[in-house]
Structure 1
């Protein structure tokens, strides 16, 4: 009789708490190919789980279903791994999102290749949650989200708009074409900036590779979509100070408006999951409502706080469908290990929203408060 790996029983017991079996027959069960996985899981937690999948140590027929069950059972809280402790110590001792460090995510993630993102994101090069309230496909959901942002900001012809973290420029292009505004977009990604400049050619839009802390000019409206996740709690007050100094302030109208579109989390933290930090978004972290509210205090009046986190699950599923259909047509640098990494990233992201561990918020703020209040737009 073959010897049983000394950690197998312990791992099996933990998985049972999530109704997951090793080598079971259900779609979400975990198929183990390398028994060294057991020690990796107990020592490294989510990092060992993600790297083990990348290395082919395990598989499942329903990756997002499996990961959702693990999160719902809070197994990530039971098995942190030593990397989580080390990352927490680093976040306590240092600012992980300095101007120098902030460029790392641009180089390692957003500069991976516009070919990958074009294949995954669809008609609109928008790398953030779509708005599915009244539509049923990805392209329509992204168009609806862009229009929702413009309507919430009350854009009018002639306004000058700033987009902090403009990505590939789609939001500014949309606003310039449909609402006849001018604008400035900043990004830390050279690949994104080059694409955005070409996309917005001929429009009154300027695209810069620039850190948000370098901004010192006035705008009528400011928006930031999917960038705040890279700011870090040590810099939240600085971030809102920058927005405050750049937003035109007319006491008669309550000043301009700022829209923050960000993923959020239910519990305040100082750093991200170790696997996400190593392979996807270095030096990132998700804000809690408490952290945002604390940083905003004394700087802005919150006019509207709109949550639609479940829409991100649908957005991620659409992205997965797109990229799975495109793998064979993408360059060989996206090899099998990269594909497994990307699948794990998308599935894990689905799981965080499906389990309601992550949220999606659009928050509209004004410097002084809109007289009579701001009518909520949906």
Structure 2
């Protein structure tokens, strides 16, 4: 179920195959699993927990650092205003806990940010979306950088009275550890910035190159490439040598090597191979059959999907009934009918209305689909 969390394609009947139906229903009642029709999903808090534990979290949660800074200021104010040593220790303990969490959260966000940047650059197919995502991640980087500066100012300027008053060795250790983590985070953000700039430059260059290739292809398809561009002039200026034969330069042996007896034996052996009188007979190919020179005509009947879509829009049937009753120009098998069903959905998805109903036909489950 966790592996299919993004596709939302885990069904209730799949779950009851793995465990008893009563146990599945119990998980749904307790809110651990959420049922949405015939599909199941993991509850959001549990899903976030699993993603963080397995290092696959894609959400950059910067607000946690701001919340901890606010909580720190509140507990410090309580500490400075409190007279009871017992209650002071309680507030001091909360401050130390928040300081520990801030460094970890900051480094965790940078790790998630770098992973998301790398995944976006490698897997996002749409260039415009890829550029926007990378720019948004760059803004997240700037936000983290600002929060690091706010945290450092908090430690060195804003709360000097508290850190001077609270004489606690563990607090000094936690504060030092946090400063080191913030320094590491700042260095990591420098590498993140370089990576984003490099990726954006690559994506924009590739996008411009593809756009130019599309323009050239369009002009070529319209037979206007030579008249509306200077491609002939540019090609005449080029002198490509990629397809020329590479020259082979003979290696001349030095006199010292030629005077060696072992070299002499090698030269004699090579000379015998070159002077070999064995003649290889190259087999002749058979004469070409005259039937290959005769003109042949092949005809094939194809199914017009555009015509099928127009007929389906006017039919009033749902898609499975329609493809079964359609008058095809040739005899078709069940597999070909299923192929037409799938091709119509793929090509004209925006023109169809999908329902939650399903029908089973010849052992196969089909979705009930109507024209809009």
Shorter-chain TM-score: what band? under 0.3
Q: TM-score when scaled to structure 2?
A: 0.21
**Larger % of strand: which?**
1
Larger RCO (CA within 8 A; separation ≥ 6):
1
Point out the structure with max Rg over C-alpha: 2
